[in-house]
Amino acid sequence: MATERVVVVGAGIVGLCVAEALMRDGFDVVVLERAQRERDGASFGNAGLIVPSHVVPLAAPGVLGQGLRWLLDRESPFAVRPRLDLDLVRWGLTFMRSATAAHVVRSAPLLRDLHLRSKALHLALAERLGSAVSAPRCAGVMVVCGGRQALEEEAEIAERAVELGLRAEVLSAADVTERVAGPEVRCVGGVHYLDDAHASPRALMRALQAHLEERGAGLRWDAEVAGFERDGGRVSGVRLRGGEVVAAERVVLAGGVASAHLARSLGAYVPLQTGRGYSVTLDAAEQRPALPLLLSEARVAVTPLSEGVRIGGTMEIAPADRPVDPRRVRGIARSTERFLPGYRAETLTALPVWTGARPVSADGMPYLGPLRRDPRVVIAAGHGMMGFSLGPVTGELVADLVAGRRPEIDLARLAPERFARRAGR
């Protein structure tokens, strides 16, 4: 088994964590990435949050109603770009059916376990990478609430988190300001989730990539996958655009939204849509918070990183190649200034804008597991906004599956083809 070749499709945080875990298990690993080596995808410009507190999946009661109200606001944190796309319609209908209280209750313990395990693995990974990267800072995350209703709703989420064994403290405005210990904060209060952490995604990606190359992983750039070769109904190779075939005993699809198309070519229905996020990074030492902030009503994250303070948000269901929408950037900037008046909107809108394509599943939970028709193909995609947080645990779980070990976390709810019957597949 130690000589088996595993081809990992995708070199984002999930793909690289999968490759690292497989190499530690002794597999021969090749990573195929369609972008160039110097890339700037969703794994680089995100908020860098590691969030055991995120026990509520994206598909939850109230999300649809809020989303419909936001559709009328061109600067809102949420947008759907209408288009004639049957896959988008199917995904949307499945998302609507998934957004139930029962789904939240069933998903919360699993999300807790995934994030807590991944936090421990983030710390262990940083130790293996050594001086090339700083260890995650375990200062927690502060959810800042501008109004009483938001604070009451967040307090209910905090109560649920505490019932799940997590640590959370509901704070007054004065206590929030004291713990933030930097910029002025306008709020009525907040919740400090003490089990959360943060790290620089760009620094981790670069260090992890260099580590894999030093250990002999075959990282291939500008290597777009066009299809698969089969032998007796099983995948035996990955065919690149241009005709080259990369031999493989096992394949892991960790290519973000592209994983849906690749899975479909193998007869599997794995619904995914692109959820674009935006961020800017501000060099503001005098306005640097002591810990990451989530601005509740604005759905904006403010994270102190080694490269500056990153301010990001927006869930824009739209093709990845659409131009940057300046209205979304203005929305992020104005919302940030309302909570943090020292962060001037005109300053933020003048900064270079990063945008990244996050793969969003049809129920807000990742797809993780083997395909039914060919268990030698494993899907690891659909993490949405949780990709950075869940990268290391995804790597560990995929390595367990490929090596034939029984994962310690039950993956039944993450089965990649869990929506196939609804789609008649």
Q: What is the 3-state secondary structure (H, E, C) of 126-167?
A: HHHHHHHCCCCECCCEEEEECCHHHHHHHHHHHHHHHHCCCC
Segment (H or E) for 172:
strand 168-172
Higher pLDDT, 327 or 271: 271
CB 392 within 8 A of CB 17: yes
Going from the C-alpha of 148 to that of each of 144, 202, 274, 306, the distances in angstroms are 11, 36, 33, 33
- Domain residue ranges of the chain, discontinuous segments joined by +: 5-414
Q: Is the pLDDT of residue 1 over 50?
A: no
- Residue 359 near residue 371, CB atoms below 8 Å: no
Higher pLDDT, 285 or 341: 341
Q: Tokens representing 40? A: 């700037």
Determine the pLDDT at residue 73.
60
Helix (H, G, I), strand (E, B) or coil at 143: strand
Distance (Å, whole) CA 185 – CA 342:
9
Q: Phi and psi (nearest 5°) for 172?
A: -75, 170
Give the pLDDT score at 72. Answer: 56
Strand partners, 171: 190
> For 349-402, what is each residue's pLDDT tens digit?
999 999 988 999 999 999 999 999 999 999 999 999 999 999 999 999 999 999
Q: What is the average pLDDT score of the chain? A: 92
Quote the percentage of the chain above a pLDDT of 90.
Answer: 79
Instruction: Please tell me whether residue 352 adopts helix, strand or coil conformation.
Output: coil
Give the angle subtended at the CA of 19 by the CAs of 358 and 311, to the nearest 5°. Answer: 30
Query: Can you tell me the mean pLDDT for 153-169?
Result: 96
89 by Cβ neighbours in 10 Å (0-12 / 13-18 / 19+) ranks as exposed
Which pLDDT score is estimated for 314? 83
Mean pLDDT of the region 61-85? 66
Output the pLDDT for position 300: 95
Beta strand ranges found along 241-372 (DSSP E): 245-247, 250-253, 272-282, 293-295, 300-305, 308-317, 354-361, 367-370
Pairing of strands 377-381, 250-253: parallel
What percent of the chain clears pLDDT 70, i.e. is strictly above it?
A: 94
Q: 38-47: per-residue pLDDT in tens? A: 888 889 999 9
pLDDT at 307 over 70: yes
Residue that is written with structure tokens 């403290």 in the block: 169
Q: Picking from 90-104, 149-163, 276-290, which range would have the lowest pLDDT averaged per residue?
A: 276-290
Give the bridge partners for 31, in sequence order: 8, 219
Architecture of domain 5-414: 3-Layer(bba) Sandwich (3.50)
Q: How confident is the model at residue 37 (pLDDT cuts 50, 70, 90)?
A: confident
Residue type, 123: L
- Residues 214-237: tens digit of each pLDDT: 999 999 999 999 999 999 889 999
Residue 307, phi then psi, degrees to nearest 5: -90, 0
Two structure tokens written together for 86: 């049957």
Residue 63, pLDDT score: 67
Residues in CB range of 3: below 8 A, 6 or more apart: 28
pLDDT at 107: 96
What is the value of pTM for the model shown? Answer: 0.94
For residue 197, the one-letter residue type is A
How does residue 62 score in pLDDT terms, banded at 50, 70 and 90? confident
